[in-house]
Amino acid sequence: DVKVTQSSRYLVKRTGEKVFLECVQDMDHENMFWYRQDPGLGLRLIYFSYDVKMKEKGDIPEGYSVSREKKERFSLILESASTNQTSMYLCASSPRRRGTETQYFGPGTRLLVL
Amino acid sequence: GEDVEQSLFLSVREGDSSVINCTYTDSSSTYLYWYKQEPGAGLQLLTYIFSNMDMKQDQRLTVLLNKKDKHLSLRIADTQTGDSAIYFCAESITDSWGKLQFGAGTQVVVTP
């Protein structure tokens, strides 16, 4: 079974803090993704990584950065958290084989920025 | 990006069938997916259909695909209270090597 884990289920941070969200997958997947989920908006892609040290902006990258130093780990960084970044953050991974885009999700991190 | 559209809410009585509808945009999508999200959890893959199929059945789940209208539906037979969740449809994005475009999700509430 694919396992995707996220470092925290719930986080409370203050405006201006630097926030790190960690994601680890154990299936040797090349692709990893960070989404945020907001009611009525579904999942919006923040960043995508298709290999170690490789990254690509998604639909809403502003205010976020990412790091992929090892294949199994993909970190999302909020350089200076703001209240509009309060959201549910979901990490996913998938193998990079054409025609097999099934993504496997972690349990999510609910972030509250005060 | 392009939009995948779903209705936001569906209420269904326990034991009835649920039908969740989705329209997608990329006629070249290879796969179309249904994911389920239970409260406080991540997304769990429910089922998927290859674009050259028009129907797939898996126990209580039936997926119908109408490529001409770019319409995807998920039917859940004999809906149970444990089926209460948010259901997302997603399409693979052509030549994106792994990206999916998700709909906004349909909240399904099953009433006794």
Mean pLDDT within B7-27: 93
Residue A106: strand, helix, or coil: coil
Give the pLDDT confidence score for residue A106 in this predicted structure. Answer: 95
Mean pLDDT within A6-31: 95
Nearest CB neighbour to A90, from listed B30, B43, B98: B43
Give the pLDDT confidence score for residue B66 in this predicted structure. Answer: 93
Report yes or no: B48 at the A interface, CB cutoff 8 Å: yes
Give the pLDDT confidence score for residue B1 in this predicted structure. Answer: 44
Report yes or no: A57 at the B interface, CB cutoff 8 Å: no
Which of B102, B106, B107 should we substitute to test contact with A (largest number of A Cβ atoms within 10 Å)?
Answer: B102
Distance from CA of B36 to the nearest CA of A (A): 11
- Interchain pair B98, A40: CB under 8 A: no
Instruction: Give strand pairing partners of A70.
Output: A73
Give the pLDDT confidence score for residue B2 in this predicted structure. Answer: 56
Least confident of A38-42, B17-21, B41-45: A38-42
- Interchain pair A105, B100: CB under 8 A: no
Taking a C-beta distance cutoff of 8 angstroms, is the pair A102, B33 a contact?
A: yes
The owner of tokens 């990893």 is A32
- Per CB-CB distance under 8 Å, the chain A contacts of B44 are 105
Least confident of A60-64, B23-27, B103-107: B23-27
What part of A 94-113 touches B (C-beta under 8 Å)? 94, 96, 98-99, 101-108, 110
Least confident of A37-41, B28-32, B62-66: B28-32
Least confident of A68-72, A108-112, B27-31, B60-64: B27-31
Whether residue A34 is predicted with pLDDT greater than 50 in this model: the reply is yes
Q: Angle CA(A63)–CA(A83)–CA(A56) in degrees, nearest 5?
A: 20
Give the pLDDT confidence score for residue A100 in this predicted structure. Answer: 63
Percent of chain A with pLDDT over 70: 95
- Interchain pair B105, A42: CB under 8 A: yes
Taking a C-beta distance cutoff of 8 angstroms, is the pair B19, B11 a contact?
A: no
Q: Angle CA(B93)–CA(B99)–CA(B105) in degrees, nearest 5?
A: 85
Averaged confidence pLDDT in chain A: 93
Taking a C-beta distance cutoff of 8 angstroms, is the pair B80, B104 a contact?
A: no
Give the pLDDT confidence score for residue A99 in this predicted structure. Answer: 59
Taking a C-beta distance cutoff of 8 angstroms, is the pair A110, A21 a contact?
A: no
Instruction: Give strand pairing partners of A48.
Output: A33, A56
How does residue B89 score in pLDDT terms, banded at 50, 70 and 90?
very high
> Which of B42, B7, B109, B58 shows the shortest CA–CA distance to A90?
B42
Mean pLDDT within B26-30: 76
Closest Cα in chain A to B89? A42
Report yes or no: B1 at the A interface, CB cutoff 8 Å: yes
Mean pLDDT within A91-113: 87
C-alpha pair distances (Å), B2 with each of A2, A32, A112, B26 = 29, 21, 29, 8
Taking a C-beta distance cutoff of 8 angstroms, is the pair B75, B58 a contact?
A: no
